Chain A
Amino acid sequence: MTYAIRTQMLSKSFAGVKAVNNIDLEVQAGSIYGYIGANGSGKTTTIRMLLGLIKAGSGTIQILDKEIPQSFHLVAPYLGVVPGEIRLYEELTGRETLDYFQGFLKSKATLREKLLADFKLNGKDLNKKVRYFSQGMKQKLLLIQAMQHNPDLLILDEPSERLDPLIQQTLYSYIADFQSRGKTIFFSSHNLAEVEKVCDYIGILKDGRLLVQDKISVLKKRLPRMVKIKFSENINPKDFESDKIMIEGFNNGTLILKVDGPMGTLLNLLKKYNVTDLDIPESSLESFFMGYYRAGENNAQ
């Protein structure tokens, strides 16, 4: 298996407090990895270590098979980065900003014109100084500078912040397009719905520790699901209760169960009854995330 990003036992402390604690990140090449956590959980610190901006306290980092920070210069041209909360050069125009960051690279900004059109930044906008840009326009500019040279790995720190919903959709379609061309996207966010919609892998970070990382589809299968069953006969709800199935409600012949694990046991049980309706909605990532955050690492596992 090839990894675009791989860390082992990565840690960083600030003034004795562990901001990142023994993280083993595994971001597969060609995947969209959502790195999710509450504010202050260590997302940005991890990203800054990946980019060699801050030295890791301990542990190792590999990006595109190169050791970081020693070989960072070898992978840097293949990276596109949107940092969180940076101050762009206000004295430059939008076009000068794009030219400036592209000017350090030998590659060409092959995607720039398409990105400008899709992110709705026209020539008039680009000729304005960045100091006159709105927050949303600055974010678009950052995204375009990150993607204009068609990098192999995109590292995006909360990229949809300050973007309107339409432009968010454009961003998501670009992320999907990059993935379809074999590129990897590492994406930090605290927006669960966004990660669920866009990413195929997820890593959940809490207090500097990576609680879980896996394919979203695999994680979802592990989630307890709420099942709604309508019966045409009288039943005893207690017949369904077990260590993996809990009764959440029973009213007017409709039983609501919380099933933790495979559905096989429940479906076998149901064969004995006259069921008129069965609803098994997919669990949202939000409930999973909140489960980890509320119950804490040990309980959730």
Chain B
Amino acid sequence: MLNKSPVSLHHFRRIFKNQKRVIFLVMLLAFLIEFFFTIILSTSTIRQFAETYFKLLPPLVKQMTGFLGEGFVGSQFIAFGYTHPAILFMLTFVSVSIATRYITAEIEGRSIELLALRLLPRYRVVLTPYFFMIVSTALIYFAMAAGSLCGREILDLSNDIEPFVLLKIVVTGMLFFSAIGAIVTLVSAMSSERGSALAWSIGIILSLFVIDAIIRLWEKIEFLKPYSFFNWYQPVDIATGRYDFNTGISVLLILTPFFLILAVITFNKRDL
């Protein structure tokens, strides 16, 4: 009797065994980044310096970072840590490296010839790494939230950081990177060479980021904001209550299965 569950735990265990050190290291880094972000940006003198600095920024940059107006709140600074380039890079790196290694590299190295014989139905070859990606992203977000909360406890910032805001950031981030994961899974399912899958995945994500930056900086095309993918991951907007949750969550919940289903169909139809 064929096991039709979308994920193979046996295959998942191999990926976990293989990647556990990397994931642990990324979690540690994520924890430290958010922890020090909280500590540094909440210490009175540095906080004052940061506030002055953000006030002095050109309007366009303020627009892009989400630091608008006066009277900054602590959550705003903490939330900025969740969209810091280092964090974005780490989370993207995890998704891209898992998809390309456990889908495209299997095709390139032809180990797929044995895997596709055993890991049936074929969609499990695609969905198991994707599931691992989701688990990894959740663990990294957990580490980030733990870093923020540790900083909050050490400096007694209970008035500055609301755990509920943090939870909203984490959930939105998880959904956002699930969609990113689905996109890179599709790219990997279409590719036969790991190098090209890496290049395409990074290129697409970078392009989406640049498009979002242009839309934010160029007032004339501001109306395109809802169509920008990165518009739906704005932790600073979440902290200040400017994030449209209904639309954001709906968009991300539609995009993820769309790309994932496309990845499964593509992989099932292609020659390996």
Contacts and interface: CB of A to CB of B under 8 A. Distances in A.
Given A86-B109, A88-B111, A81 B117 contact: yes
Given A53-B272, A88-B111, A76 B121 contact: no
B114 A73 contact: no
Nearest to A86: B110
Given A86-B114, A87-B111, A73 B10 contact: no
A91 interface: yes
B118 interface: yes
Contact of B113 (A51, A73, A92): A51
Contacts of A54: 271-272
B113 A81 contact: yes
B112 A53 contact: yes
Contacts of A51: 113, 116-117
A284 B50 CA distance: 87
A103 interface: yes
Interface in B160-190: none
B60 to A, nearest CB: 47
Nearest to A52: B116
Size range of the chain B interface in the assembly: 20 to 34
Interface residues of A, number: 26
A82 to B, nearest CB: 9
A105 B111 contact: no
Interface string A96-114: 0000110111000000000
Q: Is the interface of A mostly helix, strand, loop or mixed?
A: loop
Contacts of A55: 269, 271
A83 interface: yes
Given A53-B113, A101-B114, A104-B8, A73 B121 contact: yes
B118 to A, nearest CB: 4
B119 interface: yes
Interface string A280-294: 000000000000000
B110 A87 contact: yes
25 contacts: A48-B113, A48-B272, A51-B113, A51-B116, A51-B117, A52-B116, A55-B271, A73-B121, A76-B118, A83-B110, A83-B114, A86-B113, A86-B114, A87-B109, A87-B110, A87-B111, A88-B111, A92-B14, A100-B10, A100-B14, A103-B10, A104-B8, A104-B11, A104-B119, A145-B114
Interface of A: 48, 51-55, 72-74, 76, 79, 81, 83, 85-89, 91-92, 100-101, 103-105, 145
In the complex, the 8 A-B pairs of residues with the closest C-beta atoms, listed nearest first: A87-B109, A104-B118, A83-B113, A54-B271, A86-B110, A53-B272, A73-B120, A103-B10
